[in-house]
Chains A and B, each alone.
Chain A
Amino acid sequence: MNPLHILTRGLLVTLLVAPAFAFADDLVVRAERLMTGTGETIDDGVVVIEDGRITAVGPAASVRIPDDMPVRRAAVATPGLVDGRSVVGLAGALNQNHDQDQLERSAALQPELRAIDAYNPRETLVEWLREHGVTTVHTGHGPGEVISGQTLIAKTRGETIDEAVFVPFAAVAATLGDGALVDGEPRNSPGTRAKAVAMLRAKLIEAQEYLAKQDAEEPPARNLALESLVAVLRGEVPLMVEANRHQDIVTALRLAEEFDFRLLLTGAADATLVLDEIVAADVPVIIHPIMIRGSVHGERQNVSFTTPAELLEAGVATSLQSGYEGYVPKTRVVLFEAALGLGYGLSPEQALELVTMGPARILGIDERVGSLEVGKDGDVALFDGDPFEYTSHVVGVVIEGEVVSETVR
């Protein structure tokens, strides 16, 4: 157990005995520079969090700070960061079979695999992201099969899935291109792009038919895989498609037109080659980590450090992600990704947007997280300097008014 948790628990126990003391989820954050995530930066700003929610934001001079509320000071504070797409919690740091639950290889199409049945909130990599200011993570099944399973959105806290989970079923994860193909291995997965798409279309059509029969006198027996795809067809969750090569991106657009689902593109290494098409389709992009390495078959041969800036310039709803890493380092960190982007066309405001409101909007959770505004969750990252300089540190992390990390990273 994290000593901090012990500390917090100790505090909670104390609270039960001494209720006059302030609640653990009441907190004031006061920062020399408060970057609210709305585009506004407040010098000597405060965020008042009561009962886990933000009740006031503004200059320290004009915001009334309730008596007895603990105050945490920092040089800079930002909204808790939002990681647009990850596999942490399913993928573990050890990189051994027993901690790699992000990809089930037994079949090409398994939309019934729930992330909530696999997510480990105590995983080292989750802690690593938390200590780097990430308070909300969209994670789950990774790329690597045509449909690898579901994703969830979690707050990076808690010791059980129930304490951590924010959106239990956030998206169905799909992959187009080489990443989902087999090369000679005896698996059930397709060997070519055309076969992969044929399999995916057949499954979606099956789900359409399953959906149509729901109102019949004798509805079909429950089918977990099809139920999951019905949620996609009904627009309840998006189909999140990892597609890196331009033809695979265009295929994803074609499928979204045919089946009228909400499409989220991820990876999208070739996004700038088909930028007009992406803009016309009004599809959000969770771009690959800027520091992603290349892949076999050259799927990411065209990766450019300037893609995030170009997507924003074109008006595409864009997010960064920590993505999936198969080796060392085992996860990216969106804070570092955003920082790298500053050298390649991103303004500090855009960098912040790509790890806060950008992903929050794309994931449909912007009413709760992504900026420091009244009514939203009290999720805050504290820094000892410019968040996007590598030489600065995260000095504290707050989720819903609770200090969940005091580690200096």
Chain B
Amino acid sequence: MRIMPLRLVLTTLLGLALAAPALAETRAFVGARILSIADDPIDDGVLVIEDSRIVAVGARGDVSVPRDAELVELDAGTVIMPGIVDTHSHIGEVSGADRAGPIQPENRALDSVNLRSSGLKRALAGGITSVHVMSGSGHLISGQTLYLKLRDGNRIEELAYRFEDGAVAGGLKMANGTNPMGDAPFPGTRAKSAALLRQAYLDAQDYRDKRARDEEAERPPRDLGKDALVEVLEGRRIAHHHTHRHDDVITAMRLREEFGYRLVLHHVSEAWKVADEIAAADVPVSLIALDSPGGKLEAIDVSLESGGVLEEAGATVAFHTDDWITDSRYFLRMAAMSVRGGMSREAALRAMTIEGARMLDLADRVGTLESGKDADFVILSGDPLSSRTRVLETWVEGVRRFDLDDPEDRLVAEGGPGALTADDGAGHIHGIDGSTGGGQ
């Protein structure tokens, strides 16, 4: 599925032809090592952006810089990489289902995010430009998720990626294993969890078919929850499935096979045990790298080696912060730790960028530095995998959204009094099993 840029959506909606801007703002960033992800690294590279788009990437001398471009000379040793895509985050006080029942696809993250939360600023400080924001995992289905572009704005809609028809884009948050278990009406066993999910999708299929009847009088009344599940069944909305244990991973893939929806596995602590099965099913994995095992019984076998084992098996891997589980400000660390666990450097860099973009249907817009893509990029003080490296600047659609030299931005990046808003996940733990906020 293609996701359209907002500007295009608005023009289309207004029925206007897309006019060339009268005075394009062009900038050329020169001198950094460029990791375009689409191609080999370029030493002493040039990145040219025009307004919100990339127009050229290449080596100095190979790229013609427009005469009117503002030239930004970067220090040798700095690195430019694509804006990071965080495939799973709970920033912005996001919420979804409310523990009244285990299946609540009608709840939209859109209606809950506080875009003034410092969580969004922390993400920018970590080099994140696109972020998948979702409710926690205390339900089999906790609601509709949100793909955000970290633009400036007063309304969350201004930050939202859009489907082709202009509707706010996102997936559906699902979970199995122990997180969604509980007293009735919540499932008490794994089999019950699967039965409840299957029935929900069967009901949605039935609803979809009946909604398609010719006679309006014969159609069932609209059901917001089923509408969301139908979007999953139609492939418009991707199912993002929280899962840890090897058998739960297989169950998630079995359901996907039965109903034919598009699936991304999230967390997947025991991915290393079923990497071949995951690869054979061609289901992408959104991974988190953690400093130690333990803390959660079904995740006890979590391993830093998962990234490398999945890569070896031929599966697609992206990373996520699960912020507040890990802080968005040191997302780069995720890639370095996965390399420590055996992943290749190339796969780890892709897992921070293009693979995440693919998992959110955003790959035609972001994830690499290529002409025509959004001017979302990060300027780093050094190699992305080095512990010494800091994010210097984060640009979103040609706008500098984080600048380490700006005292307010630096405060957010480093912490200290005033850095965090009172609601921010970094300073406040939401319901630990994901009843309101995050939850690994």
Contacts and interface: CB of A to CB of B under 8 A. Distances in A.
Interface in A383-409: 388-393
B291 A291 contact: yes
Nearest to A310: B416
Nearest to A301: B427
Nearest to B324: A293
Given A94-B294, A328-B299, A303 B340 contact: no
Contacts, number: 132
Contact of B420 (A294, A339, A388): A294
Contact of A306 (B296, B327, B414, B424): B414
A192 interface: no
A111 B85 CA distance: 49
A203 to B, nearest CB: 30
- Interface of A, helix, strand, loop or mixed by DSSP: loop
Contacts of B422: 298, 301
Interface string A93-116: 111100000000000000000000
Contact of A295 (B414, B419, B429, B432): B429
A333 B327 CA distance: 16
Given A328-B440, A342-B388, A390-B385, A272 B416 contact: yes
B275 interface: no
A293 B420 CA distance: 12
B416 A391 contact: no
User: Secondary structure of the B side of the interface?
Assistant: loop
Nearest to B290: A329
Interface string B310-335: 00000000000000111101100100
A295 B385 CA distance: 29
A325 interface: yes
Contacts of A326: 295, 432
Contact of A339 (B293, B326, B387): B387
Interface string B281-311: 0000000001111111101101000000000
B432 A327 contact: yes
Contacts of A273: 417
B143 to A, nearest CB: 22
Contact of B297 (A96, A298, A332): A96
Given A327-B440, A391-B339, A391-B385, A304 B416 contact: yes
A329 B333 contact: no
B125 to A, nearest CB: 11
B340 A391 contact: yes
Interface string B208-242: 00000000000000000000000000000000000
A38 interface: no
Contacts of B177: none
A302 interface: yes
A330 interface: yes
A124 interface: yes
Contacts of A95: 294-297
Nearest to B428: A294
Given A296-B429, A331-B294, A389 B417 contact: no
B293 A128 contact: yes
Contacts of B336: 389-391
Contact of B300 (A93, A298, A302): A93
Q: Which of A92, A302, A329 has the most chain B CB atoms closer than 10 A to its own CB?
A: A329
A239 B25 CA distance: 62
B52 interface: no
B75 to A, nearest CB: 17
In this complex, the member of B295, B325, B337, B390 whose beta carbon has the largest number of chain A beta carbons within 10 angstroms is B295
Contacts of A342: 387-388
Interface in B393-423: 414-417, 419-420, 422
B294 A302 contact: no
A328 B296 contact: yes
Contacts of B385: 389-391
A167 interface: no
Q: Taking each of A92, A295, A343, which has the highest tally of chain B beta carbons within 10 Å of its own beta carbon?
A: A343
Contacts of A305: 329, 414-415
A180 interface: no
Contact of A388 (B292, B387, B429): B387
Contacts of A388: 387
B387 A343 contact: yes
A94 B387 contact: no
A272 B428 CA distance: 21
B292 A390 contact: no
B293 A329 contact: yes
A142 B425 CA distance: 23
B189 interface: no
A93 B387 contact: no
B389 interface: yes
Nearest to B391: A343
A125 B292 contact: yes
B386 interface: yes
A272 B385 CA distance: 30
A314 to B, nearest CB: 15
A344 B125 CA distance: 14
Interface string B357-394: 00000000000000000000000000001111110000
A93 B432 contact: no
A340 interface: yes
A329 B424 contact: no
A193 interface: no
A368 interface: no
A388 B340 CA distance: 12
A23 interface: no
Contacts of A333: 291-292
A336 interface: yes
B440 A291 contact: no
A5 interface: no
Given A291-B327, A304-B419, A389 B291 contact: no
A356 B414 CA distance: 24
A303 B122 CA distance: 13
A335 to B, nearest CB: 9
A164 B428 CA distance: 37
B137 to A, nearest CB: 12
Contact of A294 (B290, B326, B425, B440): B425
Contacts of B425: 294
A124 B293 contact: yes
B327 to A, nearest CB: 7
Interface of A: 92-96, 124-125, 128, 272-273, 291, 293-296, 298, 300-306, 325-333, 336, 339-340, 342-344, 388-393
Given A93-B300, A326-B295, 11 more contacts: A93-B292, A93-B295, A95-B295, A291-B327, A304-B419, A328-B296, A330-B292, A331-B291, A333-B292, A344-B414, A391-B340
Interface of B: 290-297, 299-300, 302, 324-327, 329-330, 333, 336-337, 339-340, 385-390, 414-417, 419-420, 422, 424-429, 432, 440
List 6 A-B pairs, minimum CB-CB distance, nearest first. A93-B294, A330-B294, A294-B427, A390-B336, A330-B295, A304-B415
